[in-house]
Amino acid sequence: MRTIAISNNKGGVGKTTSTVNIAAALQILGYKVLVIDIDHQAQSSYHLGIDPNKVKYSVYDVMSGEVEYKSIIVDRNGLFVLPANTSLRNIEFLPVPAKEFLLREALEGLDGYDYVLIDCPPSLGVLTLNALSFSNEVIIPLQVQFLPFHGMYNLFEALDMVKKRLNRHIQVCGIIGTMFNAKKDINREVLEETERRLPGKLFTTLIREHTALQEAPSWGKTIFEYKPDSLGAKDYMNLAKEIVARKTNQ
Ligand SMILES: Nc1ncnc2c1ncn2[C@@H]1O[C@H](COP(=O)(O)OP(=O)(O)OP(=O)(O)O)[C@@H](O)[C@H]1O
Ligand SMILES: [Mg+2]
């Protein structure tokens, strides 16, 4: 079982879009996949057609020990989801020590999936730390523009801290260049700079800027359900194949 956090403390870089569509691509490739939405914005739940306002028990209740994870996993045509709702905001106020390990403890014994993908919120707060404590790998979506690239350094510092103090197994599986537009010089420059500073980490597949990827969430559909022949579907399928091939040595 590969456990992968999709994380970047910068907002709006394609974490949710990537989590949902990589998960869907992996399912099409024949893998059993669980998506965990650990963002109180609940965007990946929404993207997968689950209305967060109707989610009675979310990953928050699993983490706080209220319910067992098995009882609230949603089977969405063979793609499994542990949904979020806004109560995830309350994790910070739970009166328990070592809050970074709540998810790992609650999911002890989780088995039977080939891939577990966790959609993280845009911060390095306690929810992201829970995802990083649980996961063996992290995938970083990078919107290939100047500012997000610089913000990524905080994330690497945080990953060093996580490795030292919370989870010595965590490794960076790879960096996804998202919202790529070949016409913009800055996109190429950021990719070249990323390759120079973090050699071998960028996936070869780039996720191109594509309107259908923006439209699919409002239909509650993955790109493969919404527009299976689109550029977005093609890119996420190629990326998923690369992720399968790029096994980190655990
Ligand atoms: N390849 C793409 N082409 C065009 N639009 C995209 C692409 N990827 C993502 N988007 C759009 O960009 C916005 C941000 O993407 P997304 O929600 O996946 O980012 P995020 O990192 O999860 O954001 P947050 O930090 O708020 O959780 C969304 O409106 C999404 O539809
Ligand atoms: Mg998101």
Domain map of the chain by residue range?
Answer: 2-245
> Does 148 sit in the ligand 1 pocket, CB within 6 Å?
no
Q: Answer whether 88's CB lies under 8 Å from 59's CB.
A: yes
Q: How far apart are CA 75 and CA 79, in angstroms?
A: 6
Average pLDDT, the chain: 93
Note the ligand closest to the C-alpha atom of 11: 1
**Per-residue pLDDT tens over the stretch 114-150:** 999 999 999 999 999 999 999 999 999 999 876 666 6
- Contact (Cβ atoms closer than 8 angstroms) between residue 51 and residue 43: no
**Confidence grade of residue 250 (pLDDT, cut at 50, 70, 90):** very low
Give CA separation, 142 vs 150, 196, 229, in Å: 10, 15, 24
Is the CB of 162 within 6 Å of ligand 1?
A: no
- Indicate the top mutation candidate among 9, 16, 22 to test ligand 1's pocket, ranked by most ligand atoms within 8 A of CB: 16
Asked if pLDDT for residue 228 goes beyond 60, the answer is yes
Q: Which residues of 220-249 are buried (b: 16+ CB within 10 A; e: fewer)?
A: bbbbbebbeebbbbebbbbbbeebeeeeee
Ligand 1 center from residue 188 Cα (angstroms): 19
How far is the C-alpha of 188 from the C-alpha of 231, rounded, in Å? 19
CA–CA dist 134, 3 (Å, integer) = 8
Which residue's CA is minimally distant from atom 11 of ligand 1? 214
Look at residue 249 and tell me whether its pLDDT is greater than 60.
no
Q: For 194-216, what is each residue's pLDDT tens digit?
A: 888 889 999 999 999 999 999 99
**Is any ligand 1 atom within 6 A of the Cβ of residue 37?**
no
Is the CB–ligand 1 distance for residue 178 below 6 Å? yes
The pLDDT assigned to 149 comes to: 67
Give the pLDDT confidence score for residue 154 in this predicted structure: 80
* C-alpha of residue 165 to centroid of ligand 1, in Å: 31
Q: What is the tally of helices (H) and strands (E) in the chain?
A: 11, 7
75: CA distance to ligand 2 center in Å?
Answer: 21
Asked if the model's pLDDT at residue 23 lies above 50, the reply is yes
What beta strand segments (E) does the chain contain?
2-6, 33-37, 74-76, 79-82, 115-119, 137-143, 171-178
Residue 68: closest CA among 36, 100, 107: 107
- Which ligand 1 atom is at minimum distance from the Cα of 122? 25
What is the CATH topology of the domain spanning 2-245? Rossmann fold (3.40.50)
Q: What is the mean pLDDT of residues 84-112?
A: 93
Region 92-107: mean pLDDT is: 93
Residue 155 has a pLDDT of 86
| Ligand 1 proximity of 19 Cβ (cutoff 6 Å) | no
Give this prediction's pTM: 0.96
| Nearest CA among 179, 130, 185, 122 for reference residue 152 | 122
91: enclosing H helix or E strand: none
Say whether pLDDT at 73 is over 60: yes
Nearest-atom index, ligand 1, CA of 211: 4
